[in-house]
Amino acid sequence: MSLHDPRAASALDLLAPTPEHALLADTLREFVAREVEPQAGVHDREERFNHALFQSAGQLGLLGVTIPEEYGGAGLDAVAAVQVCEALSTADPGFGLSVLAHAILFAHNVSVNGSELQRKHVLPRAVTGEWIGGLCMTEPEVGTDVLSLRTTARRDGDVYRLNGCKTFITNGGLEDGSTGDCFIVYAATAPGVISSFLVEKGMPGFRLGQKWTDKLGMRASFTAELVFEDVPVPVAQRMGEEGEGTLHMMRNLEIERLTLAAMSLGIAQRCLQVMVDYASQRQAFGKPIREFGQIQRHVTESFAEWRAARTFVYDVARRMDVRGKGQRLDADATKLFASQMAKRAADAAIQVLGGYGYMGEYVVERLWRDAKLIEIGGGTLEAHHKNLMKELARHPQVLR
C-alpha cells in the first residue's frame, strides 16, 4: 500500500501506528495491571515514592522510549512517550508523574540538548533506572515568569559556582533523605542569560531542602526543594553554550506538555471505566442508574470529550519532531484542553458514584485530586492562554 493510497489513511491506528507501538502498548497493559495498579492506593495514602517500581519500569525499557538506541533507549517517538504516560496514569498518575519528570524533563532533555560526553555519561544510567533524575526550573519566588529566575552560576576557573534554591522538584529526593541522582538546573550565568547545568548527587553544597508533604494529589511522587550553596559545577557539565538554557527550556516544554496531556487522557479513561461499570450495577428507583438522563449526561459528555482529547493528543504526537522546536501552539493546546477535560471527567465520576465516589476505595477521588495538578505543573492554564494567543497572532495560517 503506498502512502497515497486512500486505504493507508483508514488503516492507520493513531494509538499504535507501528508494530513497535503495538508491542509497547501490550507491555504497558501487562505492567500496569500486574505491578502499578496493586500499589497505587497505598503509595498515595502514605505519600511514598515507589523506587523499586521505578527500577522495574527501567528494566522493561519504559524509561527510555525516546532515547536513541545507542544509549540504551528504544529510539521511538512522541507517540511512544504519550503511550507510556497515558497508560501509567490509568492506574497511578503520581507514579506516572515521576516517570515523566525523569524520562522527559530530564533524560530526553539531555538526549536532545547535551553533548556526546554528557549523553554517554547520563543516558545509560537514566534509561535503566539506575539513576533517577529531574529538572530544576521553578524557584520559591519564580514560576511562570521563569526567565526572571534568581539562581546564579558564576564562572570561577574550571567550575561554575551555583547558588540558589529550586522548589516543587519532582524526584528531588528519595525516601532515605538523599537527593535524586542527577538534575538539569537552569541558572543565570549573567543577568538575563540562562544556561543549563548537570548537577549530580553528592556535589559539595548540593542538598535536599524540605520534602513537600500533604500535597492535594500526585502524592506518590516525591516533590522537594533543592538547595545549591556555592556548588562547584565543572564547566564540562554545562549543557550547550552559555545562554542556551532558554532554548533548552522552551524546546523541552513542548514534549513535556504533550506528555502531561497524555497523563490527563489516562486519568479520564479510568474515570470512564469506573463510571460506566458503576452506572450499570447501581440500582435506584428500581432500575440501573444508567437509565437516568442526568447520569447519561455525565458519562457521555465525558466520553465524547475524552475521545476528542485522545485524537488530538495522538495526532499532535504523530506530527511532533521530538528533537525539534517551534511546536508550542499544538503542545500547549493539548495540555490546555486535556487537563480540563480530565478534571471534568473525574468530577463527573465522583458525581455518578455518589457517596462511594467520595471514598478512597473507589479510586476516582484520587484521580480527581491528581487531575488538578495538570492545570498547574509544566505551565498553568493561564500560561497556555498567553502562549497560544501569541502563537495564533504570529501564525494566522494555522486557521486557514
Ligand X SMILES: Cc1cc2nc3c(=O)[nH]c(=O)nc-3n(C[C@H](O)[C@H](O)[C@H](O)COP(=O)(O)OP(=O)(O)OC[C@H]3O[C@@H](n4cnc5c(N)ncnc54)[C@H](O)[C@@H]3O)c2cc1C
The residues of the shown chain that bind ligand X, judged by CB under 6 A, are 101, 105, 134-138, 143-145, 168-170, 215, 218, 223, 373, 376-380, 382-383, 386
The residues annotated as belonging to the active site are 256
The 8-class DSSP code of residue 212 comes to P
Q: Which is nearer to ligand X, 104 or 341 (CB)?
A: 104
- How many other C-beta atoms lie within 10 A of the C-beta of residue 398? 10
Q: How far is the CB of 30 from ligand X (least distance, A)?
A: 28
Grid coordinates standing for 113?
A: 540538548
Grid coordinates standing for 241?
A: 553554550
β-pairing, 223-234 vs 182-190, is unpaired
Q: Which is nearer to ligand X, 200 or 357 (CB)?
A: 200
Q: How far is the CB of 106 from ligand X (least distance, A)?
A: 9
From 100, 102, 178, 161, select the one nearest 374 (Cα to Cα): 100
Q: Which is nearer to ligand X, 93 or 357 (CB)?
A: 93
Burial grade of 243 (CB within 10 A; 0-12, 13-18, 19 or more)? middle
From 125, 215, 108, select the one nearest 167 (Cα to Cα): 215
Grid coordinates standing for 152?
A: 546564579
Q: Which is nearer to ligand X, 144 or 283 (CB)?
A: 144
Q: Which is nearer to ligand X, 38 or 192 (CB)?
A: 192
From 67, 48, 151, select the one nearest 109 (Cα to Cα): 67
Q: How far is the CB of 287 from ligand X (least distance, A)?
A: 42
Q: How far is the CB of 247 from ligand X (least distance, A)?
A: 17
Looking at the chain, which runs of residues are DSSP E strands? 133-136, 152-156, 159-170, 182-190, 193-200, 206-211, 223-234, 238-239, 283-284, 287-288
The 8-class DSSP code of residue 135 comes to E
Q: How far is the CB of 184 from ligand X (least distance, A)?
A: 9
Q: Which is nearer to ligand X, 174 or 272 (CB)?
A: 174
From 135, 126, 117, 73, select the one nearest 322 (Cα to Cα): 73
Alpha-carbon distance of 329 to 384, in angstroms, equals 9
Q: How far is the CB of 325 from ligand X (least distance, A)?
A: 19
Of all residues in the shown chain, the one whose CB is closest to ligand X is 143
Contact 198, 184 (CB under 8 A): yes
14 Cα distance to chain centroid: 20
